[in-house]
Amino acid sequence: MSANVHKTLDEARRGERSVLAEAGAKEILQSFGIAVPRGCVVTDIDSVPAELSAPFVLKAVSATLIHKSDAGGVRVGLQRDELPGAATSMREGLARAGHALDGFLVEELAPAGVEVVVGAVRTAGVGWVVMVGLGGVFVEILQDVAFGVTPLSPAQIRDMLAELRGLPVLQGARGKAPADLDALVGLIARLTGSGGVLDAMPADITEIDLNPVIVSPSGAVAVDARFIVQKDNDASEPVPHGDPVPAREMPFEHLFSPQTIAVLGASGQGTNGGNLFIRNLIDYGFAGTIVPIHPSAESIEGIPAVVSLGEIDGVVDYAYVALPAAKVATALAAGAGRVRFAQVVSSGFAETAEGVDLQRALVDTMRSVGTRIIGPNCLGTHSSSGRLTFVPEAPSEQGRVAVISQSGGLSVDILRLGESRGLAFHSVTSIGNGSDVKAVELLEYLLDTPETTVVGLYLESLAAARDVLDLLVHRECSKPIVLLAGGRTADGSRAAMSHTGALSGNHRLWPALARQAGVELVDSLDEFINVLLAMDIADRSIATESFDAVLFGNGGGASVLAADALERNGLNTPTLPEPAIERLNGLGLPPGNGLLNPIDVPAGSLAVNRGGIAEDILRTILEFSSPAIVISHFNVGIIQRNLAETHGDVTGTLIEAIARARDSAARPCHHFLVLKTDGKPDTESQIRGYAKRALALRMPVFPELEDAATAARALLRHQAKVASRMSRSPQRSFEHA
C-alpha cells in the first residue's frame, strides 16, 4: 500500500473517528484498481479544480457524520455555479444538527446505473465475510443478499451474484441496458480476492462497506466507501481464520483398527461408563487386547488390570479415558511415547470457562509425549471394521459411510437412526471439543481412504467449517461430503455498523461456507441420513447431466404431491415423449391412469402378471427418455392389505421388476424407491424387510417422497459439481473477471 494509505489509517487511529475519511478510503480502493469517482476535498468551495467536470456531487466531510445523506450531507447533480449556494446551505443545515464541517468532498457524478452494496466484516474463526446485494429495498427490506468468505475467485463471485433474486435488474430487466457485470465481478475480486483490499487491511479495520457501487453499462464505480476502525481491536493480533493444521503424522488407521485398547476410569467394584465401554467392546466382538488401568483393582470386567499406562509393554493404539478432568493429563503422561490415540470422554474442559486452562495444559502435555487427543467432552469412536464401539448393541454391518461429529449425543442418534434406515457405517467419531484432533484432519484421512464412499460432518463451529473449506480448495475431491450444521439461527446480537454486519448471522454463513467448499448442506438429522444413504448406495459412476426425474407409483393424489415435492427441490418431471406415451397406452392399462409423468397406476394393475406391467412401464420410460433419476413410490399398506391374499408378495415383485428394468437399460440412470407406510405396526415391519431387499439390490429407500426428493437433489447436485469441476479449466485468473 502507498505511503498515503498508511497516513490515512494512522490518522484514523489517532483521531476520534471510528470511520476512515471517505476520500482516504477511496484512495485505498483506487490503489487496488477499484474505480472511484474523480474528486477532491476542499475547504473553499471556489477552489474546485478545473479538470473536474460537472455534474458534481457535493458531500460533507465531518468526523461526526457517518450516514451523510440522512443529515443532508449529500447533494447530487450540481453544476459548477450551483456549488457555492449548495455548500452554504449544507453547512448551515449540518450546523443546526450539531455537526462540525471539516470541508467538502466534491466528486464527479458517476454514470447512471444499478446501485449495488458490497460489504465485508471480520468474523471470529471465519475471517472476512463478504456480502453483496442490490441497493435500497433489496438489501434493507427484502434482505436479498448473498454471502461468501475470502478469498473469493471471480467464479465464486459469479455464484454469489447468481443467488440474488434481484439479478435480473442488473441483467437489464424491462428493456434497460444490461449493467456491466464483468466490471462488478472485477471490482469485488479486487476487494475480496487473494492480494485484494481485504487481505491487505490491518486487524483494526473490521468492516468495509461500499454502499453503493454504481454499475452502469460501461463499468462499476464505488461512489461511497466506509472503512470502520475498531480501536480496541489489537492490531498486532492476527485475526484467526482457519489456521493451517500443523503437518503431523496421522496414523488414523490405528484409531479405526486398534490392536490394544487401554481403558482408564472403569470401576473395580461398581459399574460406570468405563465398565460399560468394556462390555460394549466385548459384545461387539473386539478381537484385540483390552487393558483396564486401575491403581488398586486386580481385575475389571474379568480382565486383569494394570496399575498405570507406564506398566504396559508395547503400544496402546487407543486409550479410552473416563477419569475426572483434573486427573486425565497425569494418567496419560504415565504412558509417554506409548499411547497413539487417547479419547478423552471426560467433560470439565474448555466447554466451561473454568476448564479452558485445563484443556490447554492437557493438549500441551500430550503434544510433548506424542499422544493425539480426541475430545475431550465426547462419547467415543465407532469403527465397524475395527470392532471398536462405544454404544450398546452397536450396528454390526460393516459399511462405507464415515461420520465425524462435534456432538456426542448426536453421534449415537446418527448410528441408531442410520442403522434403522439401512445405513452401513465405516465409522462414527465424536470429537467433542476438538482440542487436538480436528474434524478437518479426520476428514482428510477419510477422504483418502478407499474404504469410505461418503463422509458426513456434524459441526457446530464455523471455524471448523472454515478449516474444511481451506482443505477442500486445495484438493480435488469427488467423494461427497454432507454437512449438518448446528446453530443456524439468525443471530441478531452483533452490534454492527454496516448492513453486512447486521445481516451476517450464522444462518447465512453456513450456506456460504458450504457452497464454496462444495459440500452438501442439510437441514435436519433425517435429511442427513437420507443424503448419506443416497450417496452411499447410488452408483455415482452413472453420469447424469439433467435434473429430470420420472415419477412412477400408485395413487393419483400421491403422484401429484410427489411432483410438487420434486419441484420444491429443483427437480423437473418433464412429460414423456410421444412414442413412450403411445407404447404405454398399448399396455392395456385400465383407463384414467396418468401416463405422462407422473405415471400413476393403481396397485391392482401393478399386481397383475407378477409385476410384469411395472417392468414394461419402466422399460418403456428408459427406452424413450433419459431422466437422471426414476423415483418409484408405493403405498405398502394398501398393497399388502388389498392384494396380498390374491396376488402374494406384490411389493417384493415390484422391487425386483424395477431392478430388472434398471439393469437392462441401455442408458443407465439412478433409481430411488419410496415405501410409504399406513402407520400400522405390521406394515412398518414389512417395510423394513422390503427396504433391506431393495438396498441389497443397491436401490436407496426412503419413507416419504420429500425424503427421496431432497436426497435426489443432493446427489444430482453433487454429480453436477464434480462434472463441472472436471470440465473447468484449471486456471481461472483474476484477469478473466
Q: Which residue is nearest to Mg ion (CB)?
A: 224
Give the one residue of 7, 67, 96, 494 binding ligand ADP; rule: CB under 6 A: 67
Q: Is 500 in the site for Mg ion (CB under 5 A)?
A: no
Of Mg ion, ligand ADP, none, which one sits near residue 262, judging by CB under 5 to 8 A according to partner kind? none
Of ligand ADP, Mg ion, none, which one sits near residue 161, judging by CB under 5 to 8 A according to partner kind? none
φ and ψ of 212, to 5 deg: -105, 170
- The smaller minimum CB distance to ligand ADP, of residues 57 and 325, is found at 57
Sheet hosting strand 454-459, strand order edge to edge: 381-383, 425-430, 401-405, 454-459, 481-485, 520-522
Q: Which one-letter amino acid corresponds to residue 659? A: A
Q: Compute the least distance from the CB of residue 478 to ligand ADP, in Å.
A: 45
Q: Is 209 in the site for ligand ADP (CB under 6 A)?
A: no
Q: Is 152 in the site for ligand ADP (CB under 6 A)?
A: no
Q: Is 422 in the site for ligand ADP (CB under 6 A)?
A: no
Strand 114-123 vs strand 205-216: parallel, antiparallel, or unpaired? antiparallel
- Terminal CA-to-CA distance of the chain, rounded, Å? 23
- The smaller minimum CB distance to ligand ADP, of residues 111 and 288, is found at 111
Which DSSP helix (H) or strand (E) runs through 470?
helix 462-472
Here's the x/- map for Mg ion, 218-237, by CB under 5 A: it reads as: ------x-------------
Q: Compute the least distance from the CB of residue 39 to ligand ADP, in Å.
A: 7
Report how many residues bind Mg ion under the rule CB under 5 A.
2
498, 500, 502, 505 alpha-carbon torsion, rounded to 10°: -160
* Listed residue (374, 395, 398, 394) closest to 386, CA to CA: 398
- The smaller minimum CB distance to ligand ADP, of residues 69 and 171, is found at 69
φ and ψ of 465, to 5 deg: -65, -35
Of ligand ADP, Mg ion, none, which one sits near residue 76, judging by CB under 5 to 8 A according to partner kind? ligand ADP
Q: Interacting stretch for Mg ion, rule CB under 5 A, among 216-224, 435-443, 618-626, 717-725?
A: 216-224
Q: CA 73 to CA 61: how far, in whole Å?
A: 8
Give the one residue of 76, 276, 297, 306 binding ligand ADP; rule: CB under 6 A: 76
Q: Is 421 in the site for ligand ADP (CB under 6 A)?
A: no
Q: Is 204 in the site for Mg ion (CB under 5 A)?
A: no
Q: Compute the least distance from the CB of residue 59 to ligand ADP, in Å.
A: 6
Q: Is 532 in the site for ligand ADP (CB under 6 A)?
A: no
Q: Compute the least distance from the CB of residue 186 to ligand ADP, in Å.
A: 19
Q: Compute the least distance from the CB of residue 177 to ligand ADP, in Å.
A: 17
Neighbours of 353 (CB within 10 A): 7
Give the E-state strand segments of 436-548 in sequence order: 454-459, 481-485, 520-522
Q: CA 701 to CA 234: how far, in whole Å?
A: 54
Q: Interaction with ligand ADP in 93-122: which residues (CB under 6 A)?
A: 107, 109-110, 115
Q: Compute the least distance from the CB of residue 227 to Mg ion, in Å.
A: 13
Of ligand ADP, Mg ion, none, which one sits near residue 68, judging by CB under 5 to 8 A according to partner kind? ligand ADP
Angstrom CA distances, 298 to 85, 289, 303, 318, stand at 97, 17, 9, 21
Task: Take residue 562 and report the three cell numbers written for it.
Answer: 410427489
Q: CA 500 to CA 192: how far, in whole Å?
A: 14
- The smaller minimum CB distance to ligand ADP, of residues 70 and 582, is found at 70
Give the one residue of 43, 69, 79, 194 binding ligand ADP; rule: CB under 6 A: 69
Sign for the pseudo-dihedral over CA of 646, 647, 649, 654: negative
Of ligand ADP, Mg ion, none, which one sits near residue 57, judging by CB under 5 to 8 A according to partner kind? ligand ADP
Q: Is 21 in the site for ligand ADP (CB under 6 A)?
A: no
Q: Compute the least distance from the CB of residue 184 to ligand ADP, in Å.
A: 16
- The smaller minimum CB distance to ligand ADP, of residues 208 and 673, is found at 208
Neighbours of 427 (CB within 10 A): 27
* Listed residue (31, 101, 116, 119) closest to 63, CA to CA: 101
CB within 8 Å of 524: residues ≥ 6 apart? 484
Per the listing, cell 471490482 goes with: 187
Sheet hosting strand 260-264, strand order edge to edge: 289-293, 260-264, 316-321, 339-344, 372-374
Give the one residue of 129, 149, 223, 290 binding ligand ADP; rule: CB under 6 A: 223
3-state SS, residue 482: strand
* Listed residue (347, 468, 463, 317) closest to 409, CA to CA: 347
Q: Interaction with ligand ADP in 581-600: which residues (CB under 6 A)?
A: none
Q: Interacting stretch for Mg ion, rule CB under 5 A, among 53-61, 217-225, 349-357, 643-651?
A: 217-225
Q: Is 375 in the site for ligand ADP (CB under 6 A)?
A: no
Q: Is 53 in the site for ligand ADP (CB under 6 A)?
A: no
- The smaller minimum CB distance to Mg ion, of residues 211 and 435, is found at 211
Q: Compute the least distance from the CB of residue 128 to ligand ADP, in Å.
A: 21
User: Could you tell me if residue 265 is left (phi over 0), alpha (psi between -120 and 50 degrees) or otherwise beta?
Assistant: left
- The smaller minimum CB distance to ligand ADP, of residues 169 and 535, is found at 169
Sign for the pseudo-dihedral over CA of 666, 669, 670, 676: negative
Q: Interacting stretch for ligand ADP, rule CB under 6 A, among 62-70, 562-570, 656-664, 724-732?
A: 62-70
- The smaller minimum CB distance to Mg ion, of residues 72 and 348, is found at 72
Angle ∠(641,642,645) on CA atoms, nearest 5: 85
Give the one residue of 26, 68, 372, 633 binding ligand ADP; rule: CB under 6 A: 68
DSSP state string for 12-29? HHHSS-SB--HHHHHHHH
Of Mg ion, ligand ADP, none, which one sits near residue 558, judging by CB under 5 to 8 A according to partner kind? none
Give the one residue of 211, 407, 429, 554 binding Mg ion; rule: CB under 5 A: 211
Give the one residue of 180, 224, 419, 616 binding ligand ADP; rule: CB under 6 A: 224
Report how many residues bind ligand ADP under the rule CB under 6 A.
17
Contact between 28 and 19 under an 8 Å Cβ cutoff? The reply is no
CB within 8 Å of 684: residues ≥ 6 apart? 677
Binding region for ligand ADP (CB under 6 A): 37, 57, 59, 67-69, 74, 76, 107, 109-110, 115, 211-212, 214, 223-224
Contact positions vs Mg ion (CB under 5 A): 211, 224
